[in-house]
Chains A and B, each alone.
Chain A
Amino acid sequence: DGGITQSPKYLFRKEGQNVTLSCEQNLNHDAMYWYRQDPGQGLRLIYYSQIVNDFQKGDIAEGYSVSREKKESFPLTVTSAQKNPTAFYLCASSITEEAFFGQGTRLTVV
């Protein structure tokens, strides 16, 4: 089945830890995106990549990092510099503007 797979579904982070969220797609899409969603809010863009080995900051990139070494993969690292990381993280991919989403990772700081 073609689609976007995010893992894990739930993730718990201790204060001061870095954690990495996985995103893999087999849709052969060039562009991939990471969004953050807080309760009752829309989606805010963290990072995006339109081609392998290239990525751009979105609106809220501080405290996050990404890599795009393969077309299929776009992992997101939430660093200790992100002071309020508890949120729902969504990965998406697209060919045009129409974005297809993974199932999301819910990150909680404990």
Chain B
Amino acid sequence: QKEVEQNSGPLSVPEGAIASLNCTYSDRGSQSFFWYRQYSGKSPELIMFIYSNGDKEDGRFTAQLNKASQYVSLLIRDSQPSDSATYLCAGGAARQLTFGSGTQLTVLP
């Protein structure tokens, strides 16, 4: 069974700090990985995707993928209170996504 595991948190960081979110996956057939942000009561919105080993940066966000270790992470630099949300990690294969249970992040002003 395909599994994506995340620390459920909650994770609290002070404003301006780096938030680090981690995810592991069991399906070595997964080729693509996605980070979604979900505010309470809202639908998930895509913030990052990564296909290749290494780092991918987009503004304050950096996604990291290590296929050998089956590990994906998301770093949020200069965290803002508006980043407070649940972050969902997902692995993709054959046009299907398997989601983790999410990590709840709170950025304290």
Contact across chains for A90 and B44 when beta carbons are under 8 A apart: yes
Contact across chains for A98 and B49 when beta carbons are under 8 A apart: yes
Residue of chain B at shortest CB distance from A102 = B43
Contact residues, A27-50 vs B (CB, 8 A): 31, 33, 35, 40-45, 48, 50
Q: Inter-chain contact count A-B, CB under 8 Å?
A: 58
Interface size of B as a range: 20 to 34
With most chain A CB atoms within 10 A of its CB, the pick from B6, B34, B95 is B95
- In the complex, what distance in Å separates the CA atom of A98 from the CA atom of B88? 13
> How would residues 6 to 18 of chain B score, 1 for a CB under 8 Å from any chain A CB and 0 otherwise?
1010000000000
> How would residues 39 to 73 of chain A score, 1 for a CB under 8 Å from any chain B CB and 0 otherwise?
01111110010100000000000000000000000
Chain B at the A interface: SS class: strand
Contact across chains for B46 and A98 when beta carbons are under 8 A apart: yes
- In the complex, what distance in Å separates the CA atom of A103 from the CA atom of B38? 11
B: residues with CB less than 8 A from A are: 4, 6, 8, 31-32, 34, 42-46, 49, 88, 90, 92-93, 95-102
Tally of A interface residues using CB under 8 Å = 22
Q: A97-B95, A99-B34, A104-B42 are in contact. List 11 more A-B contacts (CB 8 A).
A: A35-B99, A40-B8, A40-B101, A42-B99, A43-B44, A48-B96, A50-B95, A94-B95, A96-B95, A98-B49, A102-B43
Q: Within the complex, which residue of B92, B95, B100 is in contact with A42, where a contact is CB–CB below 8 Å?
A: B100
9 pairs across A/B with beta carbons < 8 Å? A42-B99, A42-B101, A43-B97, A97-B92, A97-B97, A98-B32, A98-B46, A103-B42, A103-B43
Given A40-B8, A41-B101, A98-B49; A31-B42 close (CB under 8 Å): no
A: residues with CB less than 8 A from B are: 31, 33, 35, 40-45, 48, 50, 90, 94, 96-104
